[in-house]
Amino acid sequence: SYVLTQPPSVSVAPGQTARISCGGNDIGSKNVHWYQQKPGQAPVLVVYDNTDRPSGIPERFSGSNSGNTATLTISRVEAGDEAGYHCQVWDNSIAHYVFGTGTQVTVL
């Protein structure tokens, strides 16, 4: 089965940039979506189709995808960005939705 690997945690100071990786075999050939999830809440889509943002999501959230790694970048990090972040793809070889292992972002 297709596996997506994320670092368990990322720490960043306010105002700095957080980069969260999502590794998968030839992930650059897939559409990657990113979700933010705060404790006790549902996931919220923050980036879709590798680079697009849903309406209402700040421009500080951006995505990229190439080769074996997709990346979610959060610029000018704020305290409210502290949350778990999950990447997701559709694996059409087995008709499955696959999520990454999840990354906890801590704002110092």
Partner 1 sequence: QVTLRESGPALVKPTQTLTLTCTFSGFSLTTRGMCVSWFRQSPGEALEWLALIDWDDVKYYNTSLKTRLTISKDTSENQVVLTMSNMDPADKGTFFCARTPDGDRFDHWGQGTLVIVSS
User: Does 64 contact partner 1 by CB under 8 A?
Assistant: no
Among 9, 29, 41, 51, binds partner 1 (CB under 8 A): 41
User: At 65, which helix (H) or strand (E)?
Assistant: strand 61-66
- Which residue number, 18 or 46, has a Cβ lying nearer to partner 1? 46
Alpha carbon distance 7, 10 (integer Å): 7
Burial (CB count <10 Å: 0-12, 13-18, 19+), residue 66: exposed
Number of residues that bind partner 1 (CB under 8 A): 23
Contacts to partner 1 by CB under 8 A: 31, 33, 35, 41-45, 48-49, 54, 86, 88, 90, 94-102
